[in-house]
Structure 1
Amino acid sequence: MSIILVVLGFTLLVVGGEFLVRSSVALSFKFNISKMVIGMTVVSFATSAPELLVSLQAALSGSPAIAITNVVGSNIANIGLVLGITAMVGTIAVDRSFYRLNWPVMMFFSIALYYFLKNDNWLSAFEGGVLFLGLFLFLIILIRNTKIDTEVEEVDETLAIVSNFKIGIWLLIGAVSLYFGSEWLVTGAKDIALSIGVSEAVIGVSLIAIGTSVPELAASIIAAAKQEKAISLGNLIGSNIFNIGSVLGLTAIIKPIPVTEPLILSSDVFWMLGFAFVLFPMVFLGKKFEIDRFKGFILVLAYGIFMTLLFTGGK
Structure 2
Amino acid sequence: MSLLWVILGFALLVIGGEYLVRSSVALSFKFNISKMVIGMTVVSFATSAPELLVSLQAALSGSPAIAINNVVGSNIANIGLVLGITALVGSIAVDKSFYKLNWPVMMVFSLALYYFLKNDTVLTAYEGAALFIGLIVFLVVLIRSAKKDKVVEAVDENLATVSNFKIAIWLLIGATALYFGSEWLVEGSKEIALSIGVSEAVIGVSLIAIGTSVPELAASVIAAAKQEKAISLGNLIGSNIFNIASVLGLTALIKPIPVTEPQILSNDIFWMLGFSAVLIPLIFLPNRLQISRFKGFFLVVAYGIFMFLVFTQGKI
With the shorter chain as reference, the TM-score category is over 0.9
Q: Secondary structure at the match of 1:62?
A: coil
Cα 1:168/1:208, change in 2 over 3 Å: same
Partner of 1:197: 197
Partner of 1:312: 312
Partner of 1:130: 130
- CA-based RMSD of the aligned residues comes to 1.1
| Contact 2:84–2:295 (CA under 8 A) maintained in structure 1 | yes
| Residue 9 of structure 1, CA deviation | 0.2
For residues 9 and 249 of structure 1, what CA distance do their matches in structure 2 show? 23
Match runs of 1:21-100 below 5 Å: 21-100=21-100
Q: Secondary structure at the match of 1:145?
A: helix
TM-score of the aligned structures, taking structure 1 as reference length: 0.98
| Residue 228 of structure 1, CA deviation | 1.8
5+ unaligned residues in a row in structure 1: which ranges? none
Cα 1:147/1:129, change in 2 over 3 Å: same
Work out the number of aligned pairs and report it: 314
| Contact 1:65–1:259 (CA under 8 A) maintained in structure 2 | yes
Give a deviation string over 1:121-155, Cα, whole Å, max 9, x none. 000000000000000000000000013742211x1
Q: Secondary structure at the match of 1:146?
A: helix
TM-score of the aligned structures, taking structure 2 as reference length: 0.98
Q: Secondary structure at the match of 2:307?
A: helix
Cα 1:314/1:43, change in 2 over 3 Å: closer
| Residue 223 of structure 1, CA deviation | 1.3
| Contact 2:109–2:241 (CA under 8 A) maintained in structure 1 | yes
Letter in structure 1 aligned against 2:298: I
Letter in structure 2 aligned against 1:265: L
Q: Secondary structure at the match of 2:214?
A: helix
Match runs of 1:85-234 below 5 Å: 85-147=85-147, 149-153=150-154, 155-229=155-229, 231-234=231-234
Letter in structure 2 aligned against 1:53: L
Letter in structure 1 aligned against 2:221: I
| Contact 1:92–1:230 (CA under 8 A) maintained in structure 2 | no
For residues 126 and 135 of structure 1, what CA distance do their matches in structure 2 show? 14
For residues 36 and 129 of structure 1, what CA distance do their matches in structure 2 show? 26
Give a deviation string over 1:65-84, Cα, whole Å, max 9, x none. 00000000000000000000
| Residue 284 of structure 1, CA deviation | 0.6
| Contact 1:91–1:292 (CA under 8 A) maintained in structure 2 | yes
For residues 66 and 232 of structure 2, what CA distance do their matches in structure 1 show? 28
For residues 196 and 7 of structure 2, what CA distance do their matches in structure 1 show? 17
Give a deviation string over 1:46-67, Cα, whole Å, max 9, x none. 0000000000000000000000
- More off after superposition, 212-221 vs 60-69: 212-221
For residues 95 and 273 of structure 1, what CA distance do their matches in structure 2 show? 22
5+ unaligned residues in a row in structure 2: which ranges? none
| Residue 214 of structure 1, CA deviation | 1.0
| Contact 1:283–1:289 (CA under 8 A) maintained in structure 2 | yes
| Residue 286 of structure 1, CA deviation | 1.1
For residues 86 and 282 of structure 2, what CA distance do their matches in structure 1 show? 15
For residues 305 and 122 of structure 1, what CA distance do their matches in structure 2 show? 28
For residues 302 and 239 of structure 2, what CA distance do their matches in structure 1 show? 20
* Regions of 4+ moved over 6 Å: none
| Residue 266 of structure 1, CA deviation | 0.1
Letter in structure 2 aligned against 1:48: S
| Contact 2:146–2:152 (CA under 8 A) maintained in structure 1 | no
| Residue 182 of structure 1, CA deviation | 0.2
Letter in structure 1 aligned against 2:227: Q
Q: Secondary structure at the match of 1:152?
A: coil
For residues 176 and 188 of structure 2, what CA distance do their matches in structure 1 show? 18
Instruction: Using the aligned pairs only, state the percent identity.
Output: 80
| Contact 1:220–1:230 (CA under 8 A) maintained in structure 2 | no
Q: Secondary structure at the match of 1:229?
A: coil
| Residue 216 of structure 1, CA deviation | 1.1
For residues 96 and 192 of structure 1, what CA distance do their matches in structure 2 show? 43
Q: Secondary structure at the match of 2:278?
A: helix
For residues 210 and 179 of structure 1, what CA distance do their matches in structure 2 show? 19
| Contact 2:202–2:314 (CA under 8 A) maintained in structure 1 | no
| Residue 230 of structure 1, CA deviation | 5.3
